[in-house]
Each structure stands twice: as C-alpha cells, then as structure tokens.
Amino acid sequence: MSMKDKQKRNPTVAIEETTYQKVKNKAKEKGLTLVDYVNETLLLNVEKDNFLKNYAPYIEKISVGETLVLRDHKTGKLAEVYIKNNKMFCSQDEADDCIHIHFALALPELALLKKRTK
C-alpha cells in the first residue's frame, strides 16, 4: 500500500466479538455484506435519532431499565413505558397507544424492556 492509498483509507472501527457474531448473522440473514449492513444500520440509527428530535422534541429519554422512563416537557411529567400483557403500556396516559409509546417504539433501547410480572 502506497502512502497515498494509506491516507485515503476509510476509517475503521473495532467491533466487540459478541456483537460481531450477532451482526454477522443478521447481515447474512438479510443477504448483505457485513460492511453494508453495519453502515446501513449506523446511518439509520442516526437518522432515526434526528427524526425523533423533530417528531417529538418535547420528549426526553431519562432512563432505560425494565421500564423506559421519559420526560414529557409538554405536561412536565414523567411517563413510564413498560410491557403489560404483551403490549407496550404508558403510565402517564394509562394507554397502549400514545405519543410516548410511539417514541419508545422508535428507540433502539426498546430491546432492553422486559416483561413486567405484576
């Protein structure tokens, strides 16, 4: 590799081994190369983040654990989103279809939500 090629080289990032295995399998499932899949996923995540900022600028993610805690700056209240009877449920609206649910569904952290037993 010449000096010129080296300077033009694209940036690379390290992927953790456990992530790599999952990502590699998902890329294969979608019929994409690892590079294409990773790039597409990263870009879509950034775009989704921007989309959410426009879609619901008054909603802020506070924390993610078994429930997703959101602050609604319109009402000045916290909204807790969790899974109840296999449905997303919002504590503020006591509903399964509201802006907080829509917001939560678009967050990658959604994957961390666990079923509530009570």
Residue closer to Zn ion, measured from CB, 5 or 94: 94
DSSP 55-118: H-TTEEEEEESSSEEEEETTTTEEEEEEEETTEEEETTTTBSSSHHHHHHHT-GGGGG--B---
Minimum CB distance to Zn ion, residue 36 (Å)? 36
Residue closer to Zn ion, measured from CB, 38 or 79: 79
Q: Is position 41 an interface residue for Zn ion (rule: CB under 5 A)?
A: no
Q: Is position 91 an interface residue for Zn ion (rule: CB under 5 A)?
A: no
Q: What is the DSSP letter of 9?
A: P
Q: Is position 92 an interface residue for Zn ion (rule: CB under 5 A)?
A: yes
Cβ-contact 66, 113 below 8 angstroms: yes
Options 59, 68, 100, 107; binder of Zn ion; rule CB under 5 A: 100
Instruction: Please report, as ranges, the residues that interact with Zn ion according to CB under 5 A.
Output: 79, 90, 92-93, 98, 100
